[in-house]
Amino acid sequence: MPRLLIVNCSPDALLQRVAAEGSRKYDALFMESIGRHVPQGQTLEHFTLNVVDGEGLPQGVQIGDFDGVWISGSPFNAYELDQPTVREQIELARAIWQSGVPTFGSCWGLQLMTAALGGTVHLNPRGREIGVARRIRPTPAGRGHALLRGKERTFDALCTHEDEVATLPPGATVLASNETSAVQAATISEGGRSFWGVQYHPEFDFAAVAAIIAIRVERHLDEGLARSREEVANIVADFRDLARDPARKDLAWRYGVGADVLDPKQRTAEFGNWLLAEVLPAAARR
């Protein structure tokens, strides 16, 4: 049975706030997402490590005992090295890389591994990207890479981030970009080590995005993303309605979204590609 390590990089207090606004916790979202792509007759085992809250692996368990590692999103910034948890997470990312276990990072996960391996992350000068990341385009390398197998030549994805990868570390390849971030998807490889990362969140559904918007109303107003609390509340309500009923044509038209974000199988394709290309082969070798 393939074993996954989920590295949760968000404080539980934040996840509780998100849950109070109608979202499930990130590990549950991830397991549901990747679970859509598990071959018939197989099951996945997983263990969640809440690194921000000081958890460590159980005695006798090592990173190398897993067949894949997923690194979640986070409210932290990879360049704020004065924060102990940022330094600790960077060291953990290096340890994961050295273990050789196939790893996937969503948003912060991509930024964290970038910082751990010698790249740089900065505050995005083009501003926050939240809700739906638009017009993500695979690069020539991305069109031939397994990470984006099944994705359209231009696609949208659910997202929330204010930082972006500025420079990638050695051994990295950009697989997708859009007008907001030059690195929307990338891989890093060295010898038998493999990392896949995306700046967006394939694990999110519209309820998760709605919850994140709901707890950050002031930020949206301060940054000019909305003009009033009522406007934010309407967006949150619409996203919750889309989560309950993705077939709402009126809302899909209003927000200009299609199957790439409304259909769960398409939205989570990156995880399925990683599972089939990296995790299951690793499990077979163990």
Which residue numbers are catalytic? Answer: 107, 201, 203
**Cβ-contact 212, 229 below 8 angstroms:** no
Q: DSSP states of 172-198 as a string?
A: EEEEEE-SS-S-SEEEEEETTEEEEEE
Ranges of H-type helices in 129-277: 140-143, 206-214, 217-222, 229-244, 249-255, 259-262, 264-267, 269-274
In terms of Cα–Cα distance, which of 45, 53, 70 is closest to 16? 53
CA distance 77 to 31: 25
CA distance 138 to 174: 9
Hey, how many other C-beta atoms are within 10 angstroms of the C-beta on 135? 12
Hey, how many other C-beta atoms are within 10 angstroms of the C-beta on 191? 7
Strand partners, 48: 6
| DSSP β-ladder status, 68-71 and 3-8 | parallel
